[in-house]
Structure 1
Amino acid sequence: MAPLILASASPRRRDLLAQIGIVPDIIAAADLDESPRKDETPRLLALRLAQDKARAVAATHAGSLAGFVLAADTVVCVGRRVLDKAHDAADVVRCLELMSGRGHRIYTGVAVVAPSGKLTSRVVETRITFKVLTPSEITGYAASGEGVGKAGGYGIQGRAGGFVTHLVGSFTAVVGLPLYEARCLLEGAGYTC
């Protein structure tokens, strides 16, 4: 069988796949500009980025190197405002202050390119509500460093899980890869899970 290529350097995505017994043969992250296009909705941004990552990695693994390429991208937003990956503790504070006591949405695009070149993809929407956060909760979480490098400035699988009062959708999509949808896309493309 053709190899499985994970188009992501995210250790969280590798760990999630391992939970369902899938181990990528190759890890090959795509380096793309992830900036939203003019008037692009968060849902369409997540889908486009996942598709673009899958296509970019598939292009570098063509011919005899062709495999099943799995890519994903997660976009966190409040309304139409996209919350990028937090670069530092100050970004984490800004994100948490914005989400405190409010709902936000996470769109996770997932895409698979089969060895034949056929692309299939989906977007998973998850709605999350945070409790009203105290200033000390916000600064304490920011100081932990856990939110740096994560979309929206937090990781639900860590300390921030204690801020969630309501979740509708896919927990694994919030972590970075909707496992049910990823498995369905891989199986539909002919990969044996």
Structure 2
Amino acid sequence: MQNFIYLASKSPRRRELLRAYGWEPQVLSDPSEPRGWFAGDEEELPGETPADYVLRTAVTKLMDGIAAKNELDDPRMDAPVLAADTVVSLEGKILGKPRDREEAARFMRELSGRTHEVRTAVAVGRSREDYRALVVLSKVTMRQISEEEIGRYVMTDEPYDKAGGYGIQGLAGLFVQSVAGSYTGIMGLPVCEAAELLKSYGAPAPALFQPMPTSSTSK
């Protein structure tokens, strides 16, 4: 069993979730990207559904991550690479990461009082020929959000690096009325499904498979 994995993602939430269950992710950087992280192919293709889009971008990030891993001089080269991407959609329309406060406010107005879909794709593999990927769908219902609340929310830093312009684990949790599906998937990594993929590559959840302490009985 191995704790170590490679992570082709800049998301601190994915990194934190993996560490919470005992994995030790090494974040790979993409030398072709000036910011050093894997952007993937984030342009939607004509006629592409949210599910097709998020699966394609996650696999693209995985392929870039595998290429970056192959450039390393690391004895742990056999460790799997994990990549993921999340997309928020409302009635089939993708809401990406807001570019500014105006767009973030528009997203929140559109989501207010309605149910939207969140899909996270996870891709795990060791090579371009050896990988597995899946998409997890969740549904989130927001309560009615006032203009004052929207104005205050978009003044924070929270909306701008997140699909749909909100983070369920942050202040936006105050707006969430109900969730159907994977809470961690909405955060950015469906842990249940990701763990099964990693287990298939010899990296089961370390927190679950730690040696059990031996009990001693007193006489």
TM-score scaled by length of structure 2: 0.82
Asked if structure 1 preserves the Cα contact closer than 8 Å seen for 2:101 and 2:154, the reply is yes
Which runs of at least 4 in structure 1 moved beyond 6 Å after TM superposition?
A: none
Output the CA distance in 1 between the equivalents of 2:50 and 2:11.
Answer: 21
- With over 3 angstroms needed to count, the CA separation of the structure-2 counterparts of 1:2 and 1:135, relative to structure 1, is closer
The residue aligned with 1:150 is 162
Asked if structure 2 preserves the Cα contact closer than 8 Å seen for 1:87 and 1:149, the reply is no
The residue aligned with 2:39 is 31
Output the CA distance in 1 between the equivalents of 2:115 and 2:95.
Answer: 13
The residue aligned with 2:62 is 54
Output the CA distance in 2 between the equivalents of 1:90 and 1:186.
Answer: 39
Asked if structure 1 preserves the Cα contact closer than 8 Å seen for 2:8 and 2:61, the reply is yes
The residue aligned with 1:84 is 96
Which of 45-54 and 30-39 deviates more?
Answer: 30-39
Shift of 1:192: 3.9
- With over 3 angstroms needed to count, the CA separation of the structure-2 counterparts of 1:101 and 1:25, relative to structure 1, is same
- Structure 1 residue runs of 5 or longer lacking an equivalent are none
- With over 3 angstroms needed to count, the CA separation of the structure-2 counterparts of 1:122 and 1:86, relative to structure 1, is same
- With over 3 angstroms needed to count, the CA separation of the structure-2 counterparts of 1:116 and 1:135, relative to structure 1, is closer
The residue aligned with 1:127 is 139
- With over 3 angstroms needed to count, the CA separation of the structure-2 counterparts of 1:131 and 1:115, relative to structure 1, is same
Which of 155-164 and 139-148 deviates more?
Answer: 139-148
Output the CA distance in 2 between the equivalents of 1:47 and 1:99.
Answer: 23
After TM superposition, list the pairs within 5 Å mapping 1:153-172 onto structure 2: 153-172=165-184
Shift of 1:89: 1.5
Output the CA distance in 1 between the equivalents of 2:157 and 2:39.
Answer: 24
Sequence identity of aligned pairs in percent?
Answer: 38
Shift of 1:56: 1.4
Asked if structure 2 preserves the Cα contact closer than 8 Å seen for 1:2 and 1:115, the reply is no
2:5 matched to 1:4?
Answer: yes
After TM superposition, list the pairs within 5 Å mapping 1:8-19 onto structure 2: 8-19=9-20
Number of aligned residue pairs: give it: 193
RMSD: 1.8
SS at match of 1:61: helix
Q: Greater CA radius of gyration, 1 or 2?
A: 2
TM-score scaled by length of structure 1: 0.93
Q: Which amino acid aligns with 1:30?
A: F
Q: Which amino acid aligns with 2:9?
A: S
Output the CA distance in 2 between the equivalents of 1:6 and 1:161.
Answer: 26
Output the CA distance in 1 between the equivalents of 2:177 and 2:21.
Answer: 27
- Structure 2 residue runs of 5 or longer lacking an equivalent are 30-36, 206-219
Output the CA distance in 2 between the equivalents of 1:2 and 1:161.
Answer: 31
